[in-house]
Structure 1
Amino acid sequence: MTTVSITETGAAGTGRALAAIPSPDISSISLGPLTIHFYALCILAGVVVAVYWSDRRWVALGGEKGTILDLAVPAVLFGLIGGRLYHVISDYQIYFDPDTPPNKEPIQALFIWEGGLGIWGAIPLGALGVWLVARRRGLSMSQLSFAIAPALPLAQAIGRWGNYFNQELFGRPTDLPWALEVSPYPNGILRPGMEPGEFTYHPTFLYESLWCVGLAVLLAWAGKRFDMRGGRLLALYVMGYCVGRFWIEYLRVDPANEILGLRLNNWTSLVVFLAALAYFLWAGRNLDRFSTQVVPTGHTQQGDVAAGTDDPSTESAAMTAESDHESETSAQTNANGADTTGRPQREE
């Protein structure tokens, strides 16, 4: 770790902060031919925690244990693709403009381990991956979103520490006691957003991480306190994240495209917040549209239609046959609570 001197002249001789959060000297370790990046480990840790908690919530709703793990694979793959696409498109100049620091090569747009995943692309494509599997298995997206929503910001809170190890996406220079010390690249070139002579900045990764932890707690509480069916809990997560991201984004100094004086991600936060709010209000007025079952009638947990087909008439016939069978069984039951085979009747 970088050593920080606490003197009256400030951290790293800048004359600013009396103390600072030190940044790590390394962002990866090598095990033979394998290089393990801490950025990737942070994202992986966030995914593991989110899957574990979501699965517990899903089981509590009556779902089958392990379902969330099955959904996590396509969700993560689609999410990584979407997150990277948003980052590369919104910050295209980093990879395709040789005059924009840090002057990366176009091929580096594929190097996810170097940082750069846009949550605005990760969430919708990750949700698409979940929807594709859930639709095939006949699972309720309303109930799935309820189970997953609080775990999403917790995963983000953990994943944001990847920015800490990469020393990226920090805020404006500051002399606050919790300022983050940022060092130039080893060749002496300043990192994107750094100012000459300034080495302590707002730790926006930490601000967002703490905000997301608080949001996860809020969602868990709201899910118990209010009726959040129909994806309303997920919409609340989106709104809560957008509020936090707006002011945190306002502090950041990394290169970004601007529209009318605001960074692109600020505008994205506003648009997404309004869309989530509109859906939240609409769903609240139409709760009767959404089932409370984790698996709609006519499906099993594995997604097979009860009658072996999606045809409503066939499904109805199967349900009628089942009803007739139950009637016959009931007729065979004697007054002492035993059926004609002598087996005792189970009490419910």
Structure 2
Amino acid sequence: MLFAAFQSPGPIILEIGPIVVRWYGLLIASAVLIGLTLSQYLAKRRNVDPELLGDLAIWLVLFAIPAARIYYVLFEWQEYAQRPEDIIAIWKGGIAIHGAIIGGTLGTIIFARLNRISLWQLLDLVAPSVILGQAIGRWGNFFNSEAFGKPTDLPWKLYIAPRYRPLGFLNSEYFHPTFLYESLSNLGVFAILLFLFFWGLKNRDRLKTGTLAGVYLIAYSLGRVWIEWLRTDSLMLGPLKVAQVVSFSAISLGVLILAWLYWFKRPLPDVVSPRKQQSISNK
């Protein structure tokens, strides 16, 4: 069933002299714009000022993208030590979503603290946009011929050119399209979060603040743990795959969040006490 085999057309969309337009950069920019539009729409549905999400988006970009690059470079330092000029070459690929999540969360914490806003309410509003952005961004891996899995003969196999193949698989032509698996998994998580969001509009007393953030951590991480077993280019920490270690930690945190909200029936600790929080209602 070769009709389902596919391969990347290459990382570059357009090249005119020194001007190079790459799929990776276009997809990241598209994910940011689509995510911002979505989060502002969700904010309106929650009667929250959408301009607040526009301000937060700037913080997320400033914190998430550099953190994603730093995270990746640190775990691939042996490679970048040989060519330090490539450390800032983010357009060539090489960012880690867990680094982006950590950086974005840090930026959101600071933003919430400075503006005296509930961190968990902000996280609930951006969680659907974040996972949708991840689903879009994964296609950058496709165009860069990276983040693919082990060799396979499945009908939906991905052809990888010899120059992109890992040393142990130079004689293999077709690999698991793990970027596609994760993109589809992320779309599934996106659907779950949207369902919970709109269900929560009709059941405000039952959907507690912080729920979407907790569900995001669990649902995304469960998919990532499975997909990481198929990857051949995982970031490693000794014998352990870093993404799996972080994912198991995120699952534990997500379970703790939901247990705190629904088992112990207590509000989550916030960066600003409720009595000091400013209203973020749409005026």
Please name the residue that 1:276 is paired with. Answer: 254
Please name the residue that 1:112 is paired with. Answer: 90
Please name the residue that 1:215 is paired with. Answer: 189
TM-superposed CA distance for 1:43, in Å, is: 1.1
**Pair 1:233 & 2:212 matched:** yes
Q: Could you say if the C-alpha distance between residues 267 and 289 of structure 1 is closer, same or farther in structure 2, counting changes exceeding 3 Å?
A: closer
CA distance, structure 1, for counterparts of residue 207 and residue 184 of structure 2: 24
**Pair 1:142 & 2:116 matched:** no
TM-superposed CA distance for 1:224, in Å, is: 3.6
Q: Could you say if the C-alpha distance between residues 278 and 22 of structure 1 is closer, same or farther in structure 2, counting changes exceeding 3 Å?
A: same
CA distance, structure 1, for counterparts of residue 197 and residue 226 of structure 2: 26
Q: Is the 8 A contact 2:217 2:253 kept in 1?
A: no
TM-superposed CA distance for 1:41, in Å, is: 0.9
What amino acid is the match of 1:235? Answer: G
What amino acid is the match of 2:261? Answer: A
Please name the residue that 1:299 is paired with. Answer: 278
CA distance, structure 2, for counterparts of residue 19 and residue 288 of structure 1: 49
**Pair 1:204 & 2:178 matched:** yes
CA deviation profile, 1:200-247 (whole Å, cap 9, x unmatched): 110000000000001000111123446343322111101111100011
TM-superposed CA distance for 1:71, in Å, is: 0.8
Please name the residue that 2:21 is paired with. Answer: 36
- Which structure has the highest helix share of the two? 2
What amino acid is the match of 1:208? Answer: E
**Pair 1:244 & 2:223 matched:** yes
**Pair 1:182 & 2:182 matched:** no
Deviating beyond 6 angstroms after TM superposition, the runs of 4 or more aligned structure 1 residues are 295-298
TM-superposed CA distance for 1:88, in Å, is: 1.1
TM-score, normalisation: structure 1: 0.71
CA distance, structure 1, for counterparts of residue 85 and residue 146 of structure 2: 20
What amino acid is the match of 1:205? Answer: F
Q: Is the 8 A contact 2:128 2:190 kept in 1?
A: yes
CA distance, structure 2, for counterparts of residue 174 and residue 212 of structure 1: 22
Aligned length, in residue pairs: 272
Q: Secondary structure at the match of 1:220?
A: helix
Q: Is the 8 A contact 1:138 1:296 kept in 2?
A: no
Q: Could you say if the C-alpha distance between residues 81 and 231 of structure 1 is closer, same or farther in structure 2, counting changes exceeding 3 Å?
A: same
Q: Secondary structure at the match of 1:117?
A: coil
Q: Is the 8 A contact 1:230 1:290 kept in 2?
A: no
CA distance, structure 1, for counterparts of residue 249 and residue 25 of structure 2: 29
**Pair 1:81 & 2:66 matched:** yes
Q: Could you say if the C-alpha distance between residues 62 and 19 of structure 1 is closer, same or farther in structure 2, counting changes exceeding 3 Å?
A: closer
Q: Could you say if the C-alpha distance between residues 191 and 255 of structure 1 is closer, same or farther in structure 2, counting changes exceeding 3 Å?
A: farther
Q: 1:59 aligns with which of 17, 25, 44?
A: 44
CA deviation profile, 1:180-199 (whole Å, cap 9, x unmatched): 111133xxxx5336612211
Q: Is the 8 A contact 1:182 1:199 kept in 2?
A: yes
Q: 1:90 aligns with which of 72, 75, 80?
A: 75
Q: Is the 8 A contact 1:146 1:229 kept in 2?
A: no
Gaps spanning 5+ residues in structure 2: where?
201-205
CA deviation profile, 1:126-155 (whole Å, cap 9, x unmatched): 122223223323332222122111121111
Q: Is the 8 A contact 2:31 2:136 kept in 1?
A: yes
Please identify the structure whose Cα radius of gyration is greater.
Answer: 1
Q: Could you say if the C-alpha distance between residues 26 and 78 of structure 1 is closer, same or farther in structure 2, counting changes exceeding 3 Å?
A: closer
CA distance, structure 2, for counterparts of residue 243 and residue 37 of structure 1: 31
CA-based RMSD: 2.5
